[in-house]
């Protein structure tokens, strides 16, 4: 029985486990209906997958369509595939989901320690400013020690914050709500190029998987739809029209890839009957490029976090030590 554990915190991993067990049950000879019944037992703590897939099948969808409906939440593409072998398709989708999940987990692990360290330092400095600092000011006053101007100013600022904390929280929350769409748009603008390459890689992988099952390129394009909200929709729709209506493979891949070197590789693959190898080459390129760029971005972010952490630690020590030094000097 598959109970909740640490990796079950990630819904994508639950889906991967679900599909893996389903494929394994089919491989040892169970029928689709019986396999789904067994899955309901194995995943009784996450039974929603079984219920949704069973509900879709009861509506008249095939098992492939029902499963694709669950997987599509993690993809820009929607698949209208019926006439394909279920087990190879499951293997492909499991591998695809696992690659994505492994990449995200690796990036999360790279960022986790710096984020935790930064958060702890912020909390400690908050404690210093709200608890220790006022006591230091009182101590300086009791010893009749001259208080530096910057400490007086900082104390006045903190007093204003304490007296108006509710108003500040409301204003801060309002600014965040108003500014969040702009922040989101800015982040989207920064990641758009690499996001488009990731979507292209996903499409090429699907194309290769369906081509391996004997589908012609035109059939593959017909079976795949892209979400209306996808940033790749315009380019993909043009590619689809050029393939299905104009039958112009060269122009279609020119629109899709927008890279003369990659177009040359694909066109050579089509003419030399090495289309599978050409797709594999491009998929590997986009996969490696995505990992390389995202790791570089994470390294830069981690570096910035470490610098900010160091600055905050130094400020925290200075705020504590400087008043203490004042007391010691005055006492001597």
Greater pLDDT, 311 or 141? 311
Among the candidates 28, 55, 74, a domain finishes at 74
85 within domain boundaries: no
41 and 190, same domain (yes or no): no
Q: What is the C-alpha separation between 308 and 292, in angstroms, rounded? A: 25
Q: What is the C-alpha separation between 200 and 232, in angstroms, rounded? A: 8
23 and 172, same domain (yes or no): no
127 and 246, same domain (yes or no): yes
163 and 265, same domain (yes or no): yes
Among the candidates 56, 74, 92, a domain finishes at 74
Per-residue model confidence as pLDDT tens digits over 53-111? 778 777 877 777 777 777 777 777 777 666 577 788 888 888 888 888 887 787 778 77
> Containing domain of residue 27, as a range?
6-74
31 and 116, same domain (yes or no): no
144 and 272, same domain (yes or no): yes
Q: What is the C-alpha separation between 252 and 236, in angstroms, rounded? A: 9
90 within domain boundaries: no
pTM over 0.85: no
188 and 291, same domain (yes or no): yes
Check: CB of residue 246 under 8 Å from CB of residue 238: no
Per-residue model confidence as pLDDT tens digits over 228-263? 777 778 888 888 888 888 777 888 888 888 888 998
Share of the chain above pLDDT 90, in %: 4
Check: CB of residue 36 under 8 Å from CB of residue 42: no
Q: What is the average pLDDT across 29-50?
A: 76
- Confidence at residue 93, expressed as pLDDT on a 0 to 100 scale: 82
Among the candidates 29, 57, 74, a domain finishes at 74
Domain count, the chain: 2
14 within domain boundaries: yes
39 and 182, same domain (yes or no): no
Per-residue model confidence as pLDDT tens digits over 189-225? 777 777 888 888 888 888 888 888 788 888 888 888 7
Q: What is the C-alpha separation between 269 and 71, in angstroms, rounded? A: 30
81 within domain boundaries: no
- Confidence at residue 180, expressed as pLDDT on a 0 to 100 scale: 80
- Confidence at residue 9, expressed as pLDDT on a 0 to 100 scale: 46
- Confidence at residue 4, expressed as pLDDT on a 0 to 100 scale: 45
61 and 114, same domain (yes or no): no
- Confidence at residue 327, expressed as pLDDT on a 0 to 100 scale: 67
pLDDT score of 49 more than 70: no
109 and 70, same domain (yes or no): no
């Amino acid at each position: 029985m598959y109970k909740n554990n640490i990796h079950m915190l990630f819904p994508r991993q639950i889906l991967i486990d679900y599909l893996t067990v389903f494929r394994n049950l089919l491989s040892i000879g169970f029928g689709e209906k019986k396999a789904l019944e067994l899955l309901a037992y194995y995943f009784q703590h996450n039974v929603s997958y079984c219920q949704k897939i069973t509900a879709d099948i009861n509506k008249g969808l095939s098992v492939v369509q029902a499963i694709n409906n669950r997987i599509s939440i993690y993809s820009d593409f929607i698949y209208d595939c019926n006439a394909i072998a279920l087990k190879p398709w499951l293997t492909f989708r499991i591998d695809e989901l696992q690659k994505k999940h492994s990449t995200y987990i690796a990036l999360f692990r790279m960022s986790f320690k710096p984020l935790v360290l930064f958060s702890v330092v912020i909390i400690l400095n908050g404690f210093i400013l709200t608890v220790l600092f006022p006591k230091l000011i009182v101590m300086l006053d009791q010893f009749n020690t001259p208080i530096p101007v910057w400490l007086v100013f900082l104390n006045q600022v903190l007093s204003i914050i304490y007296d108006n904390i509710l108003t500040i929280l409301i204003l801060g929350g309002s600014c965040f709500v108003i500014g969040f769409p702009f922040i989101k748009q800015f982040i989207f603008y920064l990641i758009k190029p690499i996001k488009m390459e990731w979507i292209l890689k996903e499409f090429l992988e699907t194309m290769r998987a369906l081509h391996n099952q004997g589908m012609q390129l035109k059939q593959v394009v017909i079976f795949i739809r892209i979400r209306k909200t996808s940033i790749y929709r315009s380019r993909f729709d043009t590619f689809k029209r050029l393939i299905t209506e104009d039958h112009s493979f060269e122009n279609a891949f020119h629109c899709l890839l927008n890279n003369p070197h990659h177009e040359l590789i694909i066109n050579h693959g089509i003419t030399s009957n090495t289309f599978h190898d050409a797709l594999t080459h491009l998929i590997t390129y986009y996969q490696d490029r995505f990992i390389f760029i995202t790791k570089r971005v994470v390294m830069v972010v981690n570096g910035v976090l470490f610098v900010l952490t160091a600055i905050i630690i130094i400020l925290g020590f200075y705020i504590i030590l400087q008043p203490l030094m004042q007391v010691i000097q005055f006492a001597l």
